[in-house]
Amino acid sequence: MKTKKPKKEFTENMLTPEGSDGHINWFPGHMNKAIKEIKKRLKMVDIVLELRDARSPLVTGNSLVLEGIGEKSRLILINKSHLADPIILSKWDKWFTDQNVPFLFIHDFDQTTLKNIISESKKIIQKRRMESNPGIEEKKKIRMMILGLPNTGKSTLINKLSRRKATKVADKPGQTRTQLWVKVDEDIEILDTPGVMPPKIIKYEHGQWLSALHAIPDTIVTAEIPACYLVKVLLKKKSQVFKELYQFEHFDHDVIAALDHIAKIRGCLLTMGQYDYERVYNIILGDFRSGKLGLISFGEPPIK
Ligand SMILES: Nc1nc2c(ncn2[C@@H]2O[C@H](COP(=O)(O)OP(=O)(O)OP(=O)(O)O)[C@@H](O)[C@H]2O)c(=O)[nH]1
Ligand SMILES: [Mg+2]
């Protein structure tokens, strides 16, 4: 079995892939093509629904894709809000309200959420039409485009809206590779698009957030990077959920000692008394991504 033992004391350096400038970049060819097609099709749609991850709603936006949007109506859907730290989420609520952009915090897309998304979208479209042409009747037929980073839940939302498996969903980034029009009802059509990353992630820590959130595949960064980052953050935060889930007695561990402890508790052992770190990383990432490690956010709204 393949495993990689962390060889040295955990440092920021250890999280810098050898030979790189320290930045995580993942921009496969299909994303380049997707951006060009998105820009072409923007003219055809009445509104853009932009999906973000509530655990880091600014870093999971993509300014490049939005560049072409200009005056296009837009509704920001901040998804997976049930997994975010509620105190930080309320700060984001205030921040987005102050930005004066339409947004909704959503998760899991129940019927009420779906109705809200449609009625909010119609309101935004009508407001824009009234501004440019007062007295105009409400537009019945609507075309929407869904945009966002990989794995934010775009295809899941489309399937829920259309009440069928119209487009493929997966628990991994980069599932959707081509655009697809889906009919929601007689009056609404929605375009699914492939998740697109910013071509350069400027801050290394943002790359760690995006890989922990699974917007970047573990195969690109290795599971070690987001897993060790999470352990570092949760030890520093003195997270009670982390302590209880992995039966720590205290927080006074470095990252490697904490990984060894989790390996012991979860029986991640190889022969000759070695720990199977690869399994430990996957356990930590699985627990974080499913919410078992508690409600966690990365970053806070910028201070004006
Ligand atoms: N827990 C939770 N999982 C969600 C939610 N929304 C989406 N997901 C999950 O997120 C994963 C990615 O969903 P997709 O709909 O394939 O994401 P996508 O944005 O289309 O991804 P790409 O096609 O790669 O760009 C799936 O495992 C979904 O079940 C949510 O609100 N809560
Ligand atoms: Mg998709």
DSSP symbols for 195-236: ----S---SHHHHHHHHHTTSS-HHHH-THHHHHHHHHHHHH
Cα–Cα distance for residue pair 299/103, rounded to 1 Å: 19
Rg (CA), the chain: 21
Does the CB atom of residue 193 touch ligand 1 within 6 A? no
Closest atom of ligand 1 to CA, residue 152:
19
Residue 28, exposed/middle/buried by CB under 10 A (0-12, 13-18, 19+)? middle
Q: What is the pLDDT of residue 132?
A: 82
The answer on pLDDT for 11 being more than 50 is no
* Choice from 50, 156, 160 to test ligand 1 binding pocket (greatest atom count within 8 A of CB): 156
Does the CB atom of residue 151 touch ligand 1 within 6 A? yes
Ligand 1 midpoint to CA 154 (Å)? 7
Closest atom of ligand 1 to CA, residue 156:
15
277, two tokens: 């770190």
Q: What is the pLDDT of residue 13?
A: 41
Nearest CA to ligand 1 atom 14: 153
Q: What is the pLDDT of residue 3?
A: 52
Q: Chain-centre distance of CA 275, in angstroms?
A: 30
Does the CB atom of residue 80 touch ligand 1 within 6 A? yes
Q: What percentage of the chain reaches a pLDDT higher than 70?
A: 90
Beta-ladder partners of 76: 50, 103
Q: What is the pLDDT of residue 14?
A: 42
Q: Give me the helix-helix angle, 277-289 and 224-237, nearest 10°.
A: 60
DSSP symbols for 123-168: HHHHHHHHHHSTTPPPP-SEEEEEEESTTSSHHHHHHHHHTS--S-
Are the CB atoms for 22 and 16 separated by under 8 Å?
yes
Flag the least confident range among 17-31, 35-49, 284-298.
Answer: 17-31
Does the CB atom of residue 265 touch ligand 1 within 6 A? no
Pairing of strands 73-79, 142-148: unpaired
Domains and CATH numbers, the chain: 29-192 (3.40.50.300), 222-289 (1.10.1580.10)
Cα–Cα distance for residue pair 157/189, rounded to 1 Å: 13
Cα–Cα distance for residue pair 98/228, rounded to 1 Å: 35
Does the CB atom of residue 195 touch ligand 1 within 6 A? yes
* Residue closest to 258 by CA, chosen among 294, 16, 275: 275
Does the CB atom of residue 174 touch ligand 1 within 6 A? yes
Q: What is the pLDDT of residue 7?
A: 43
Read off the pLDDT of residues 202-247 as tens digits, 9 standing for 90 and up. Answer: 788 999 999 999 999 999 889 999 999 999 999 999 999 999 999 9
261, two tokens: 């402890």
Closest atom of ligand 1 to CA, residue 109:
31
* Choice from 169, 172, 216, 285 to test ligand 1 binding pocket (greatest atom count within 8 A of CB): 169
Q: What is the pLDDT of residue 72?
A: 84
Q: What is the pLDDT of residue 68?
A: 62
Does the CB atom of residue 226 touch ligand 1 within 6 A? no
Read off the pLDDT of residues 65-119 as tens digits, 9 standing for 90 and up. Answer: 667 666 789 999 999 999 999 999 999 999 999 999 999 999 999 999 999 999 9
Residue 281 or residue 29, greater confidence = 281
Scan for tokens 């009234």, then name that residue: 130
Read off the pLDDT of residues 191-211 as tens digits, 9 standing for 90 and up. Answer: 999 999 887 787 889 999 999
DSSP reduced 3-state for 49: strand
Ligand 1 midpoint to CA 81 (Å)? 13
